[in-house]
Structure 1
Amino acid sequence: MNPEIPSSHAGSEPAQRCGLVAIVGRPNVGKSTLLNALVGQKISITSRKAQTTRHRITGIRTEGAAQFVFVDTPGFQTRHTTRGTGALNRSLNKTVQSVLSDVDLVLFVVEAGRFGLDDAKVLALVPPGKPCVLVANKLDLVQRRAELAPWLKAMQERHPFAEFVPLTSKREDEALRLLGIIAPYLPEQPWYYDADALTDRSERFLASEIIREKLFRLTGDELPYTSTVVIEKFEEEGALRRIAATIIVEREAHKGMVIGEKGERLKRIGTESRTELERLMDGKVFLELWVKVRSGWADDEARLKSYGYE
């Protein structure tokens, strides 16, 4: 039976719990989808394309007396030397390692029934003694559940996991079940944020993430993941937001992919981004998009910093 999330009752109010929880795993195992489900609202972009999360994104969920501060991380990059992306990959890996050093709990996400070399490299980063929960995601894709037993035994031999939680991260009820399981691992201390907080990221940052998500979703596998979005202008006029953003690509051919025939694809990226931004920001959004070629940006330390990568 899973432990329940501590709740407040008159006369026996429990102490507040609050802690940092890292979500780690190889690219494309569903970390961002899980984060969004745990927070209860989309704050991290999701895509079929591997490696779409590039920044440390904090999501916050307060349930009962427990406040969970989730940290989404980039999928650890095992190919540092990929031509033209070395600096970007080193930056992503540095982010993963710095996150793991200062959290209270780690959620190690894998695909249920699978464990490969890239998974092993991420697991090796978990500091000894740090509580770590094995989250077996995409349970809905497992044909024979009985085959999970030997797999789980092998996983327990690899690492002393504190808990094993099989789930399908898209389901809200399963996210709530996971919250109940990990709540006791949070330290007893005051909350870091207000009870209704969802993220510590700015609207400006969330705007760049939403545009980048639409970019990847609407270009499919055509566009390399070494494309990014830079917010050039973000102005608030009452309930209106005026946003100007530039999509950065590596090559002239990539520019054509983004713009599309007669500008139709870029127009659709803009329309879908604006619609979601208006819903998120509860107001009118005026959005301008440009596409620029910056060859070699992903292996240029100075340019990475100017684009917001640490």
Structure 2
Amino acid sequence: MLARPTVQERTQTPLLSGMTQTPLQQSGMNGQTLIPEAPPGFKSGFIGLIGRPNVGKSTLMNVMIGQKIAITSPVAQTTRNRLRGILTLPEAQIIFVDTPGIHKPHHQLGEVLVQNAWSAIQSVDVVLFVVDASGEAGGGDRYIAEMLAQSNVPVLVGVNKADQQPEDPNQAEAIERSYQALAQARGWPIAKFSALTGEGMDVLQQTLVSTLAPGPYYYPPDLVTDQPERFIMGELIREQILYLTREEVPHSVAVTVDRVEEEPTITRVLATVNVERNSQKGILIGKRGSMLKAIGTAAREQMQKLIAGKVYLELFVKVQPRWRQSRTRLEELGYQVEE
């Protein structure tokens, strides 16, 4: 189950808004961050982002939060870890829970990801079921809808990628009818938007706030995610691998950040890229190290935005045979079933 943050968890400040690591304005005697008392009528709650792979859940959360905390790519199943994004408004605090895309698993890693996505459903206040407006509802959407219907959690159907609907009015109408039928059959409200262009996002935000019950601040107002910088850095490296490599490499990669050393003028990061085969290692390194250099350069640029300072990034590639099939290896690399 996705537990509410404990006092200890909430007094840690992994990543603040504005991409800088300045102290929060409110702090206690021991330097720990304080959470203000919520004003009358304040609302709060956890919104689970559920849907098939590559429907735009991570992009949606990044746009809602106002900065990049979740990686995105054209490759399906980009999200692997359950990630909380925190949006604090004058009237509410929304904690978005991004989950791996629900798909038919083909290995132990896939089984862990799907199991974690389903467990998140039972632990949130509202589910935003994200679907893709560029095509009609398919078997995967109907399967997720049936599973959600068996839970007691309120569901809002979010039709993303409104900007990518076909120009043919008949096709566009057929797509809309398919999702309306999916939602109306279960009494779920529906919202149409585009996380990419911003179309309909204000209405979506207002709708989500209206679904929440009165509640406290769960996190300090300046916090945008509960994940530490080290985790985000590893994800930024994996994002560039997703963009720059092809074939079987993206899904066979796990990144571990081994060391982060902060100096007055630069932050030094040492990370290992784990793959399953020597052939994948060769692809990642590239001719005379060209691919690894390109990955490192692009990831370093993103890290510098993250910490608002200079970064020196050193990457190593290590072969871990069949790591996706081993529960032990999965846990070592940070993938385990979440309670």
Question: Match of 2:76?
Answer: 50
**Distance 1:153-1:97 versus aligned 2 partners, 3 A rule:** closer
Tell me if the contact between 1:66 and 1:183 (Cα under 8 Å) persists in the aligned partners.
yes
Give the direction of change, closer, same or farther, for the CA distance of 1:239–1:131 in structure 2 (3 Å limit).
farther
1:121 match? 143
Work out whether residues 244 and 287 of structure 1, in 8 Å CA contact, stay in contact via their aligned partners in 2.
Answer: yes
Partner residue of 2:254?
A: 228
Alignment of 1:103-114 (within 5 A): 103-112=124-133, 113-114=135-136
- Asked if 1:202 is matched to 2:224, the reply is no
Amino acid at match of 2:200: E
Whether 2:50 is the aligned partner of 1:24: answer: yes
Q: Distance in 2 between matches of 1:181 and 1:239?
A: 44
Q: Identify which range, 215-224 or 268-277, moves more after superposition.
A: 215-224
**Are 1:274 and 2:297 an aligned pair?**
no
Structure 1 position 238, deviation (Å) = 4.1
**Which residue of 137, 148, 151 corresponds with 2:178?**
151
- Which of 233, 238, 258 matches 2:284? 258
Write the letter of the residue equivalent to 1:118.
G
* Letter in structure 1 aligned against 2:81: H
Instruction: Give 1:156 shift.
Output: 2.7
Structure 1 residues 20-68: Cα deviation after superposition (integer angstroms, max 9, x where no partner): 0000101111111111111111111101111110000000111221111
Task: Report the aligned-residue RMSD.
Answer: 1.7
| Runs (5+) with no aligned partner, structure 1 | 1-12
Q: What is residue 237 of structure 1 aligned with on the other side?
A: 263
The counterpart of 1:96, out of the listed 114, 117, 139, is: 117
Once the 2 structures are TM-superposed, how far is the Cα of residue 176 of structure 1 from its aligned partner? 2.8
Please tell me the residue identity of whatever aligns with 2:333.
Y
Instruction: String of CA shifts for 1:172-223, please: whole Å, max 9, x gaps.
Output: 4533321111101112011111222110100000000000001110114452
Residue matched to 1:138: 161
Structure 2 residues not aligned, in runs of 5+: 1-38
Q: Give the letter aligned to residue 202 of structure 2.
A: L
Q: After superposition, what is the alpha-carbon deviation per residue over 1:151-188, rounded to whole angstroms, capped at 9, x for unaligned?
A: 24421344321x21111111345333211111011120
Under a length normalisation based on structure 2, what TM-score does the superposition of the two structures give? 0.82
Percentage of matched positions with identical amino acids: 38
TM-score (norm 1): 0.89
Deviates more, 1:57-66 or 1:150-159: 150-159
Q: 1:14·1:65 contact (CA, 8 Å) conserved in 2?
A: no
User: Separation in 2 of the partners of 1:95 and 1:174?
Assistant: 29
